[in-house]
Amino acid sequence: MIESPQLNIALVQTKLYWKDKVANLAMLEEKMWEIDNGVDLIILPEMFPTGFSMDAVELAEPMNLNVCKWMRQMASQKNVTIAGSAIIQVDGKYYNRLLWVSPDGMIQHYDKRHLFRMADEDQFFSAGERLPIFELKGWKICPQVCYDLRFPVWSRNRMIDGELAYDLIFYVASWPAARVSAWDALLPARAIENLAYSIGVNRVAEDGNGIMYNGHSATYDFKGNSFEFLGEEEKISIITLDREALDSYREKFPAWMDSDNFSVQ
């Protein structure tokens, strides 16, 4: 594996067409071609092909159908890893599944653990049971989806073989404007407590249910300092994470050595 001292990431904060996969994939394809080469990872919002809908039966598709094929195609053509969640059906169950697609066509995934009961997501989707750690150019990366942000135990950066499990935690989201203050507070909190970079990518504009989203996609360093904030408009931003700065801070402030050992059931 090629290790890189820096990681270049594109955050795509965008509107979404309501329950229209064809329109969303075409729109996002145009946006991706605007992103310069040299980016390692492109992060899309939660349920980027459809918007955040509970119409799982209508909108779901199995793995390796249209959405997966499109992500594979774009990852290959742009030579970049792409991440974002979609509604996926497996063995009669429906998942809000974060797809992690590499340029070589390999697909890994994370199924949203915490389902947003206030929108009845838990009535239509099955919760994930496994938290994978993805690797990209020597960086270890923890995937999360929206409501997961409120549950820090699930994403705690624990020790594995004498090292912290991940260097970056990121959230793909459809986080409403009505509760954006919680989003703004919890993203830096996840960075501070886990001694890792934290990224949140949210959508903007009103959806088909009349819910308004106002973005606030952002990147925070391991101290909780914001070094990129996208505001409330459609925007693509490319940020660079620095490995040396992360390693240096962890060495100077090794709070991780005093962390509590526990397991999540």
Cα–Cα distance measured from residue 146 to residue 76, given in angstroms and rounded to the nearest whole number: 27
Q: CA distances (Å), 195 to each of 46, 142, 166, 248, 257, in order?
A: 25, 13, 9, 11, 11
Sign of the Cα pseudo-torsion (53, 58, 64, 66, in order):
negative
The answer to whether residue 146 is catalytic is: yes
Pairing of strands 197-201, 218-220: antiparallel
What's the angle, vertex CA 210, arms to CA 46 and CA 12, rounded to 5? 30
DSSP class per residue in 230-259:
-TTS-EEEEEEEEHHHHHHHHHHS-GGGGP
3-state secondary structure of 61: strand
81 strand-pairing partners: 41
DSSP 255: G
**How is residue 21 written in tokens?**
């996969």
Active site includes 251?
Answer: no
Q: Which of 15, 21, 78, 112 is catalytic?
A: 112
From the candidates 15, 21, 46, 142, give the one annotated as an active-site residue: 46
Question: Is residue 142 among the annotated active site residues?
Answer: no
- What's the Rg (C-alpha) of the chain? 17
The number of beta carbons lying within 10 Å of the beta carbon of residue 36 is: 8
Cα–Cα dist 68/63, whole Å:
6
Which one is catalytic: 21, 68, 121, 146? Answer: 146
CB 100 within 8 A of CB 134: yes
Could you list the active site residues? Answer: 46, 112, 146
